[in-house]
Each structure stands twice: as C-alpha cells, then as structure tokens.
Amino acid sequence: MNKKKWTTLFIRYGKEEAAEFYALHKDQMECTTVSGPMEGLTMIKVREHAQNSLFYLGEVRVTETKLRHGKEIGLGVVKGDEPELSTALAFIDLCFKTDQFTDTLNNILSDLEDRETEAVHKKTQEILRTKVNFDMMND
Amino acid sequence: MGYVAVKGGKEAIEKSVEMYKSRRFREGHDIEVENIKTNMRQLINQVMSEASFYDRDLCALAIKQAEGNMEEAVFLMRAHRSTLPRLYYSTVTNTREMFVKRRVSASFKDIPGGQILGASPDYTHRLLDDALLGLQTLADYVTDEDEEEIEYEYKLDALPKVIDYLEAEGLYSKPEIDDTPPDDITKKSIEYPSSRSERLQSLTRGQTGAVTSLGYAEIRGYGFSTHPNIGECRVGDQPIHIGDMDGEEYFIGDIELTEIDAFLPDEKESSDKEDYQSEMTFNIGYGLTFGQNETKAIAMSVLDYSLSHPVENAPTTDDEFVLYHIDSVESTGFISHLKLPHYVTFQSKLDRMRQSGRKSE
C-alpha cells in the first residue's frame, strides 16, 4: 500500500488505531525526536478550471512530527491540532521505512479499508437522498 | 506631518478592556468554543475564507473572543496565522477529486450524476423558527426510516464536471494546462496589472460582503453587464496532499470547499475566413472558497471573469479598484483607524482654517 493510501486511512478512519499502535510498539523500536509535534501551515495550491492555471487558495493549520531511527526519518503531518496523531503517523512511517511491524500495520489497514467502504457507502446514500428526481416532480 | 507621541489614558484603557472582556458574563453566561464550532458553521466558513486560514477550532475561538464580530475574528485569525511557519505547499489540488456533498447546476436540468441538493438553507422558509428557542435534538430533525438503497452511476468523489458536457458539445474548449508557478500575495504585494493567480488568491480571501457587492454591481451594468449562468455549484470535502521528503504523496486531511463554474457567453471571430459571422462560445468565470460560501464563490466567479475582460471606465473590471478594496483587514483596518486619535492632524487643519478666516476679514 502506498503512502497516499495508508495516510488517508489512518487520518480519516483510524486515529484511535494509530494511537494504539504507537502506544503498543514505541518501546520496541528505538527512535529519537527530530522535531515536533509542532504547529505550522500548509499553503494549498489549486488548479482552476477556467484557464487551467495554478493559484494559491489559502493555508491550513497542520501539526508536524519527525522521528528518527538510524538513518531513516519518519514523517507525521496532519491537518489541525493533532500532536498525538502526528507522532503516531511519524512512527508508522518509520515502521514502513525500516520494515518493522508491517504485518500488524497491514492487518490494521485492511480493517480500516473495510471501515472506509462502509463509511463512504453510508455517506453516499445519505447525500444521494437529496438528489432531485425530476420524474417524481411531474407526478 | 509628523506624529507626536502622547501619554495618558493607561488606566482608562485597562478599564475599557476589562469592561469589554467581562461583558459576556454580565449579560448572560459563557459558552464553550465547541458550541460555536458545531452551531455557527456558516459564520466559521466566512471567517476562514476571509482569513485565508483553514482551521475550524481556531476560528471558533476567534469568533468567541471577538464576540461574533466578523472583522475582528478575521483580524485575529490573520494575526495568529502570521505567527506560524509555513512548513509545506500542497501538491496540485484537483477539485475533480472532491467528495461532493452538494452539487447543483442552474444551466442544465439533467446533468451526469444529477442535481444533488445536499445541506442548504435555499429550500427553507425564511420564517423565524420558534422551536429553536428551546434546545433541540437530532431526533427532532432526522427521520429514521428504513429507506431503500439508492443505485448510482458515479461515485461522489468522481462526478463528471458540467463543463465536460459543454466541451463534448463543442461549445467550450478546455485551455491547455498552464503550470506557471503562481504568485503569492502573502509573500509579495500585488503588482498592477495583476496576474491571474494574484486575482484569484485576492478574491477568495476577499470580504464576503465586498466581493458580493462588487459582483452584483458588475452584473448590473458597471462592467460587462452580462448575466452569468451557473454551470455548476459544488460543495464538498477536498483531499489535500503534500509531497514528502521521499517525493511520495502524503494525505494530510480534507477541507470543505465551494466551487463555482459560471458560464459567460462570448463572441469570437469564426475560424473560417470566408465566414464573416462570429461564433458564439462560452467562457468560464471561476470561484473557489474555503467552506460553504456559495454567494461569495458565485460573486468571485463573476469578478474573475470581469477582471480578465476589462472595459474602459468600468470600476468592477479595474483590478486595482477591486483588489485593493475587498480585503477585510485592509479595509476595516483603515476605516476603523479613523476613530483613533488624530489630534495633531486635525488641529493642523483647524489652524489653517482659522488663519485663512483671519486673512479674509
């Protein structure tokens, strides 16, 4: 699973799982804090449709943590004030980079994929109940 | 004219601040920031948009601190934003990946994926609701019926755009991808004539009322005076990614956005040299804001188009006129500073008037 996918699953559906994983495994892999958790900004770059050009929409607050194990650095970045989650994400990034506890992580992510499917389905159904049925309007 | 520092008023100022900060307790009871966050969503949307700073928690705090004063809340957010380091730039955000929660078109009835009303006050009666005088619960508003499964053709994060339909009809040509690095008005002041990226960044953080008023003036005749058609109004959750140190995409969270594609008819000369008729085509005015800010996003799309198509002596197509005056902190800051002491400058004017009065006697 690529980083885009696992960060999406943990941030959207698995905050508690990420924190639990970190709490259970942090003593089993020696790592030092490079920086953070610290607050900062991410500037959002957007492509607009009218001219297909780029512009800056504005900034979003993020929390960033960096952890080191050997030569590898794990990165945790998440929207909002989330010191615990950013630390857990940095640790998980480090685990993937150093190939440690990956079976456990993949099992968690597999469960989160199921949760994602269920959540998206539920949200989609709720939103689509507001879809206009023009045939019905003519009844 | 130089400024002269004066002393005095320290105790009065301290008491004024005390009176201001204690007023909420004297007139009622304190509320939790969480209550503002969940009950004042639209106010938060406006403040985030005008502050150009997306964070619902901080916005709710700013609103509480400002006693609901929009300009003050935006000022607080901008000030806080200036204390934080910019750690990242996102990868290019593509709004086609937005998880759509609301999507309507005023131009076509039948659009691929359908008209999805979502959550909106548009379909409510504008009558005060007495029931809200008391506390309500979710059960008062949600019907918990066992409803049928709805079949759908498009996932909500992959809905086709309405402009795709126009393009398929040959009424709109999608421009080439333009990867020119955008200007950033938070790093460098706008230079006139402005670039497109400067205009869009300035419009999206403009004061809601100012952007709306100028957009309205534009349509009424102080610019190109064309009625735009809203091709698509989308509200949804947009995934944001950064590129990490290994060059991989990294999801950092979703933000709510409102996006407008406004269709504006345009005439261009026929490509057929022997055909002296002009061809009707469409241009797009573009609006994009933080949060659900539909009126502002529509006005932004109108001004985006007008500023790209200047008309002589039309104020709403003059980028310097529009962009200089729509910023909340700039405009409210200048206007409100007028109430601060100007004793020396005013005395100077008075002296000149007295002297000229004596001369005329």
Q: pLDDT tens for residues B274-315?
A: 555 556 777 899 999 999 999 999 999 999 999 998 888 889
Are A131 and B175 a contacting pair at CB < 8 A?
no
Note the helical H segments in B169-223. 196-204, 208-217
Q: pLDDT per residue over B124-138, tens digit each? A: 999 999 988 998 888
- A57 vs B contacts (CB less than 8 Å): 52, 93, 201, 204, 257, 288, 290
The pairing of beta strand A54-69 with beta strand A32-47: antiparallel
B150 Cβ contact partners less than 8 Å away, ≥ 6 residues apart: A125, A128, A129, A131
Distance CA B250, CA B87 (A): 14
3-state DSSP assignment of residue B33: helix
Task: Give me the phi and psi of B207, to 5 degrees please.
Answer: -65, 130
Higher pLDDT: B242 or B330? It is B242
Computed over every residue of chain B, the mean pLDDT equals 89
| ipTM of the modeled complex | 0.95
Q: Provide the chain B residues 137-196 that lie in CB contact (below 8 A) with chain A.
A: 147, 149-150, 152, 155-156, 161, 163, 174-182, 184-186, 196
Q: Provide the chain B residues 59-118 that lie in CB contact (below 8 A) with chain A.
A: 81, 84-95, 99-102, 109-110, 114-118
Are A59 and B52 a contacting pair at CB < 8 A?
yes
Does residue A88 fall inside a structural domain?
Answer: yes
Higher pLDDT: B228 or B55? It is B55
Note the helical H segments in chain B. 10-27, 33-39, 41-51, 56-65, 70-81, 162-168, 196-204, 208-217, 294-308, 319-325, 328-337, 343-360
B315 Cβ contact partners less than 8 Å away, ≥ 6 residues apart: B217, B222, B223, B321, B322
Which chain A residue has its CA at the smallest distance from B301's CA?
A50
The pairing of beta strand A72-79 with beta strand A54-69: antiparallel
B244 touches chain A (CB under 8 A): yes
Give pLDDT, residue A33. Answer: 95
> Are the CB atoms for B281 and B166 separated by under 8 Å?
no
- The total number of structural domains in chain A stands at 1
Residue among A24, A78, A71 nearest B251 (CA): A78
Residue of A41, A57, A129 lying closest to B81 (CB–CB): A41
Does residue A13 fall inside a structural domain?
Answer: yes
Residue among B232, B234, B106, B97 nearest A47 (CA): B97
Q: Mean pLDDT lowest for which of B15-29, B185-199, B203-217?
A: B15-29
3-state DSSP assignment of residue A7: helix
> Are the CB atoms for B282 and B172 separated by under 8 Å?
yes
Q: Mean pLDDT lowest for which of B16-20, B74-78, B184-188, B211-215?
A: B16-20
B88 Cβ contact partners less than 8 Å away, ≥ 6 residues apart: A40, A41, A42, A43, A62, A77, B242, B252
Give the range of the structural domain holding residue A32, as residue numbers without chain letter: 3-100
Neighbours of B115 (CB within 10 A): 18
